[in-house]
Each structure stands twice: as structure tokens, then as C-alpha cells.
Amino acid sequence: ADLAQKGINAKSSLDEARNDLDKAKQQLAVAQQGIVSAKAALGGNPDIETDKHPTVMSALAARDKAAYDLAQTTVKAPADGVVYQASSFKVGQYVAVGTPLFALV
């Protein structure tokens, strides 16, 4: 403010410098918030092992559940044989537990 009063520096240049300072402070605050968010995403531990990262563990659990669900869609016969009268259902059709679908001869 003293420089502007003495005429050495124009008031507009001083205002521009203050605006630049305010922008830099805001950018710093955003960057610091980004650091806080990144640490929170790491469970508060920046040195966490990849396999113990909460996001990785969640993805692995979802993968395992999907594999289990897929395994539950397979029909296995207790013995070798030929499927008979299997025309009562269609591919992709949902059936209730215990519903007879075909005969194994």
C-alpha cells in the first residue's frame, strides 16, 4: 500500500498482485485438501500395501462374490447319463429352487 501511495507502483498492479496471492492461497488450500483426501483413501496410511488397500480389498471381495454367484448357476448331475425332456425351460430363464427341469436317464 505504501508503494501505491508514493506513486512508485500503480494501484492496479498492486491489486493484481493481491489477486494473484489470493489465487495462490486458494490453490494451496485445494492441494492440501487433495492430500487429506488421498490419505483418507489410503485408510490414513500412505505406506499401506496394495493388497491391504480398502479399495483393492473391496474389489477382491466383489470379484469373489461374482465367482461364487457364477458357480451357483451351474447344474451338475450326480451321475453320467443323457438329459431327457429338457424343453420345458429356455436359456437365461430363472427357475425356483427345487423346480424339476429335466430327467437324467
What does the pLDDT read at residue 24?
Answer: 97
Q: What residue numbers bound the domain in which 14 lies?
A: 1-41
Q: Is the residue at 67 inside a domain?
A: no
pLDDT at 76: 80
Spatial neighbors of 95 by CB under 8 A, at least 6 apart, are 89, 101
Q: What is the pLDDT along the chain (105 residues), one digit of tens a residue?
A: 565 556 666 677 888 889 999 999 999 999 999 988 888 877 777 787 888 888 889 999 999 999 999 988 877 888 898 888 777 777 788 888 888 888 888
Strand-pair category, 83-84 with 103-104: antiparallel
Euclidean distance between CA atoms 47 and 45, whole angstroms: 5
18 part of a folded domain: yes
For the chain, how many structural domains are there in total?
Answer: 1
Written as one letter, the residue type at 18 is R
Specify if 59 maps to a domain: no
**pTM higher than the cut 0.95:** no
What pLDDT score does 1 carry?
Answer: 53
